[in-house]
């Protein structure tokens, strides 16, 4: 499994070099971190539901089944 992950990481890095972009520093990654931070607060119960209905239902389902 580790070899497979390393292969994909290397592939992404090489594509970034070819396209002259830094593949691991994209705005989408930062947005994902911000959204994940909000959802983590939901799991600990420190925040209120400020997500769309789909995300709220997924969080509710997770809490009920874990």
pLDDT score recorded for residue 49: 67
Q: How far is the CA of 29 from the CAs of 25, 32, 41, 65, in angstroms?
A: 7, 5, 19, 29
Which residues span the domain enclosing 15?
2-65
The domain total for the chain is 1
pLDDT in tens, 8-63: 999 999 999 999 988 877 777 888 888 888 888 877 776 676 788 888 888 889 88
pLDDT score recorded for residue 23: 81
Identify the residue with better confidence: 3 or 28. Answer: 3
E-strand spans in 1-66? none
């Amino acid at each position: 499994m580790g070899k497979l992950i390393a292969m994909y990481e290397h592939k992404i890095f090489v594509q970034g070099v070819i396209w002259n972009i830094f593949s691991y520093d994209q705005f989408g990654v930062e947005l994902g971190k911000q959204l994940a931070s909000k959802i983590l607060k939901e799991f600990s119960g420190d925040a209120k539901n400020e997500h769309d209905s789909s995300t709220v239902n997924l969080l509710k389902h997770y809490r009920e089944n874990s």
